């Protein structure tokens, strides 16, 4: 497949591999480097290294491998918290990618859903059947899967207009001064690393409510409620207030306990049933590894 992009002012000085990783869905920097080494990427018709600094107006052409990404059923165990003819609620484990991409062509939640559920909506295309919203790979917890397009439209609208309520539990480094409050900023691409998000002046409005649940010597357990749905919102906001999510290798201080990622779990979800309008609330207990870490902290 051939992609062509023109660098704009905001891309000036950005590395070529970072630029393409952002532009092409599901690719990694290592994959881009492989294409560069194979002569599959040019800038203004000439081969460049992966670290080439783009200039405004540069024309970038990338020829990716011909293989297509496809979503196929796979017998992967998943915890289905609820399901009926309209939608399902899944408790996604930490480490599971939501849908297939070049960096994760199989073993995803979608692969499991295609095996476990009879029908899924197709509004998000063949690679993301049923997917109404997403969770980061290393964030665990509740996620919606629509079984038909009517339900998908209803659930998507609820998330967009904030009538669906999503709550998360996180362990944070250090102790937040206040017992609760609101974090309101603008979130956009990190100008120094376009693979990350950051609080920026020209980003989109992001609002997160928080409540401290329990305090420890060097950590605090916090409940967050999303009032907007920006990429990596809770993780970026936690870093912004000086208390990153424990174990967050991207926005925090890395591993402090034996976990595969950040200690962030989507524990509660409230939606209106697409057909009846009944308000439904779903819960997912903290994963075992999360609870074990809390018990260690309680024992000092």
Q: Is the pLDDT of residue 100 over 90?
A: no
Class of domain 68-161: alpha beta
Q: Is the pLDDT of residue 30 over 90?
A: no
- Rounded to whole angstroms, how far apart are CA atoms 136 and 99? 11
- When the pLDDT of each residue in the chain is averaged and rounded to a whole number, the result is 92
Sheet holding 41-43, edge to edge: 2-6, 59-63, 41-43, 46-47
Q: Is the pLDDT of residue 38 over 70?
A: yes
179 is an active site residue: no
Asked whether the domain spanning 168-265+292-298 has the same topology as the one spanning 2-63, the reply is: no
Region 160-168: mean pLDDT is: 95
Region 223-237: mean pLDDT is: 95
Catalytic hit among 11, 17, 58, 136:
136
Chain-centre distance of CA 227, in angstroms?
16
Q: CATH for 2-63, among 1.10.3720.10, 3.10.290.10, 3.30.420.10, 3.40.190.10?
A: 3.10.290.10
- Rounded to whole angstroms, how far apart are CA atoms 226 and 213? 16
Of all residues in the chain, what percent carry a pLDDT higher than 70? 98
pLDDT interval class at 65 (50, 70, 90) = low
pLDDT interval class at 139 (50, 70, 90) = very high
Task: Please give the pLDDT value at position 63.
Answer: 86
Q: CA 87 → CA 3, 126, 287, distances in Å?
A: 36, 17, 23
Can you read off the two tokens belonging to residue 37?
Answer: 């080494």
pLDDT interval class at 297 (50, 70, 90) = very high
Q: Is the pLDDT of residue 211 over 70?
A: yes
Q: Is the pLDDT of residue 127 over 80?
A: yes
Can you read off the two tokens belonging to residue 298?
Answer: 């309680």
Give the pLDDT confidence of 269-289 residue by residue, as tens digits. Answer: 999 999 999 999 999 999 999
**Domains of the chain: which residue ranges?**
2-63, 68-161, 168-265+292-298
Please, are residues 44 and 88 in contact by the beta-carbon 8 Å criterion? no
Q: Is the pLDDT of residue 250 over 60?
A: yes
- Rounded to whole angstroms, how far apart are CA atoms 111 and 273? 25
Can you read off the two tokens belonging to residue 276?
Answer: 């009846």
H helices present in 38-144, as ranges: 109-116
Q: Answer whether CATH 3.30.2350.10 is correct for domain 168-265+292-298.
A: yes
Chain-centre distance of CA 246, in angstroms?
17
Task: Please give the pLDDT value at position 68.
Answer: 60
DSSP 3-state of 30: helix
Task: Please give the pLDDT value at position 71.
Answer: 87
- Rounded to whole angstroms, how far apart are CA atoms 47 and 192? 24
pLDDT interval class at 253 (50, 70, 90) = confident
């Amino acid at each position: 497949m051939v992609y062509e992009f023109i660098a704009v002012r905001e891309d000036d000085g950005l590395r070529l591999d970072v630029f393409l990783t952002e532009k092409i869905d599901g690719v990694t920097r290592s994959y881009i480097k492989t294409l560069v080494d194979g002569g599959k990427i040019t800038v203004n018709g000439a081969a460049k290294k992966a670290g080439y600094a783009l200039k405004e107006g540069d024309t970038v052409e990338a020829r990716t491998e011909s293989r297509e990404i496809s979503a196929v059923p796979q017998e992967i165990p998943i915890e289905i918290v609820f399901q009926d003819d309209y939608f399902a609620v899944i408790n996604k484990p930490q480490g599971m990618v939501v849908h297939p991409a070049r960096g994760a062509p199989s073993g995803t939640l979608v692969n499991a859903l295609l095996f476990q559920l009879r029908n899924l909506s197709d509004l998000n295309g063949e690679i993301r059947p049923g997917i109404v919203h997403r969770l980061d790979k290393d964030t665990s917890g509740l996620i919606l899967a629509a079984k038909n397009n009517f339900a998908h439209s209803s659930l998507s609208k609820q998330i967009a207009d904030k009538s669906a309520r999503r709550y998360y539990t996180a362990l944070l480094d250090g102790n937040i001064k206040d017992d609760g409050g609101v974090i309101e900023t603008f979130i956009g691409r990190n100008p120094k690393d376009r693979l990350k998000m950051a609080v920026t002046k020209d980003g989109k409005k992001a609002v997160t409510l928080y409540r401290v649940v329990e305090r420890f010597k060097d950590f605090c357990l916090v409940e967050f409620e999303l009032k907007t749905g920006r990429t990596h919102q809770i993780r970026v906001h936690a870093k912004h207030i000086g208390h990153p999510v424990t174990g967050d290798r991207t926005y925090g201080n890395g591993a402090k306990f034996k976990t595969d990622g950040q200690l962030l779990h989507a524990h509660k979800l409230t939606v209106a049933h697409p057909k009846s309008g009944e308000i439904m609330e779903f819960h997912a207990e903290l994963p075992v590894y999360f609870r074990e870490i809390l018990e260690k902290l309680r024992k000092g």
